[in-house]
Structure 1
């Protein structure tokens, strides 16, 4: 199963990921993205199958490649 995380050091708070896949990504108070699934603040998190397509679109749409992906 695919896993994802957000690199907070390169995120520019553009909102592309959480607009594309709000079931997996969310913004903090400053607009920076994070994975909102359980364990999302600790590193790679498994993406439930029902969200895989949208999460992949969010990764592909990130202008700074901050949304990371691991198979």
Structure 2
């Protein structure tokens, strides 16, 4: 099943866990906050199957639970 991911930038503290675990998925912007590189943090592109283990580990290691994973694309138009 497809998974979609985004980072809640209001919750992110920029600790670096996600990028350290999954540098192909996460990067930091000029404000020092993480974002998903796959779709510029929109949560609209399905995560490739080969990245799911890294994603799961990054999700578990996020101290603020800023990484959000869903079975459907996120609606960023709100």
Q: Is the 8 A contact 2:4 2:43 kept in 1?
A: no
* 8 Å CA contact 1:17, 1:58 repeated in 2: yes
Number of matched pairs? 70
Alpha carbons of 1:45 and 1:64: their partners in 2 closer, same or farther (altered >3 Å)? farther
Residue 2 of structure 1 deviates from its aligned partner by 1.1
Structure label with greater radius of gyration: 2
More strand as a share of residues: 1
Q: Say whether the 8 Å CA contact 1:20–1:58 is kept in structure 2.
A: yes
Q: Compute the RMSD of aligned alpha carbons.
A: 1.3
TM-score scaled by structure 2?
0.81
Gaps of 5+ in 1: none
Mind listing any 5+ residue stretches in structure 2 that lack a counterpart?
A: 72-78
Structure 1 segments of 4 or more deviating over 3 A?
none
Distance 1:16 1:44 in 2: 23
When normalised by structure 1's length, the TM-score is: 0.88
